[in-house]
């Protein structure tokens, strides 16, 4: 009994210690955020470096795709000459639709849901992945 209770006490302490390492509050940017007024975006592709996000605009259609490579989280570059995303770390390539076409990336780049905030800004929800053909029209 004595040994068992010591073991239980030590185990409880260990769990407590591990618990301390799981942050209770995250001082991180929110997963849903405004990226600016739709008219701020020119026709074509805009890179939002702070958000690691590409915004596509075709006429009044908007789309948002993550710039984080699905292999090991490096930032992918848009290469207008190739019409592809290139990852600089391990050479993954993605089509304009975000589909992984070569290199080690195991999955396509995720597309995010867009909405219009009451003040007229474009809202991106990076927790809400959507299909590749998703378009947000104004």
Partner 1 sequence: MEKLKRIWRSLIWAWSPKSNREASESVIRNFWLHWFPSRISLRSMSWGYSLWLGVFAACLFAILALTGLLLLFFYIPSVQSAYWSIKDIENVVVFGSLLRAQHRWAAHLMVAVVFLHMVRVFFTAAYRGQRVWNWYIGIVLFIVTLFLSFSGYLLPWDQLSYWALTIGTAIASSIPLLGRSIRFLLVGGNILGQNSLLRFYALHNFFLPAGLLFLFALHMWRIRKDGGLASMDNLIHETKSKEIPVSPSKTYSLLGVTEGTTIQVATTEVLDESNSAHASPGLVRRIALVFLLTTIITLALALIFPSPLEEPANPAVTPIPAKAPWYFLWLQELIAITTIKIGTFSISGGLIGGILIPAFLILLAAVWPFLDKSPADAVGVWFHRSRRRQNVIFTLICLAVIILIIIGVYLRGPYWNFYWPWQDWPEMPTLF
Q: How far is the CB of 64 from partner 1 (least distance, A)?
A: 16
Closest distance between partner 1 and the C-beta of residue 98, in Å?
15
Nearer to partner 1, 104 or 110 (CB): 104
Q: How many residues does the chain have?
A: 138
Please give the Cα distance from 91 to 95 (Å, whole number).
Answer: 13
Closest to partner 1 by CB, 65 vs 105, is: 105
Tell me the closest approach of the beta carbon of residue 136 to partner 1, in angstroms.
Answer: 24
Cα gap 59→42, rounded to integer Å: 9
Kindly list the residues in this chain that would bind partner 1 in the complex (CB under 8 A): 18, 21-23, 26-29, 49-50, 52, 70-75, 77, 86-91, 93, 103-107
Q: In Å, what is the CA distance from 116 to each residue of 33, 135, 136?
A: 11, 13, 9
Number of neighbouring beta carbons within 10 Å of residue 38: 17
Pick between residue 95 and residue 135 the one whose CB is nearest to partner 1. Answer: 95
Query: ∠37-134-44 over CA atoms, to 5°?
Result: 50
Closest distance between partner 1 and the C-beta of residue 72, in Å?
4
Give whichever of 100 and 123 is closer to partner 1, judged by the CB atom. Answer: 100
């Amino acid at each position: 009994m004595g040994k068992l209770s010591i073991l239980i006490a030590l185990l409880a302490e260990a769990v407590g210690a591990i618990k301390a390492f799981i942050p209770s509050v995250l001082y991180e940017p929110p997963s849903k955020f405004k990226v600016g007024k739709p008219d701020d975006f020119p026709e074509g592709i805009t890179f939002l470096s702070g958000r690691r996000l590409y915004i596509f605009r075709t006429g009044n259609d908007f789309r948002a795709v993550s710039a984080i490579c699905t292999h090991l989280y490096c930032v992918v570059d848009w290469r207008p000459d190739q019409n592809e995303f290139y990852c600089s770390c391990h050479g993954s390539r993605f089509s304009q639709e975000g589909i992984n076409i070569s290199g080690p990336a195991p999955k396509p780049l995720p597309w995010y849901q867009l909405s219009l905030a009451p003040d007229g800004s474009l809202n991106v929800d990076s927790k809400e992945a959507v299909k590749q053909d998703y378009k947000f029209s104004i």
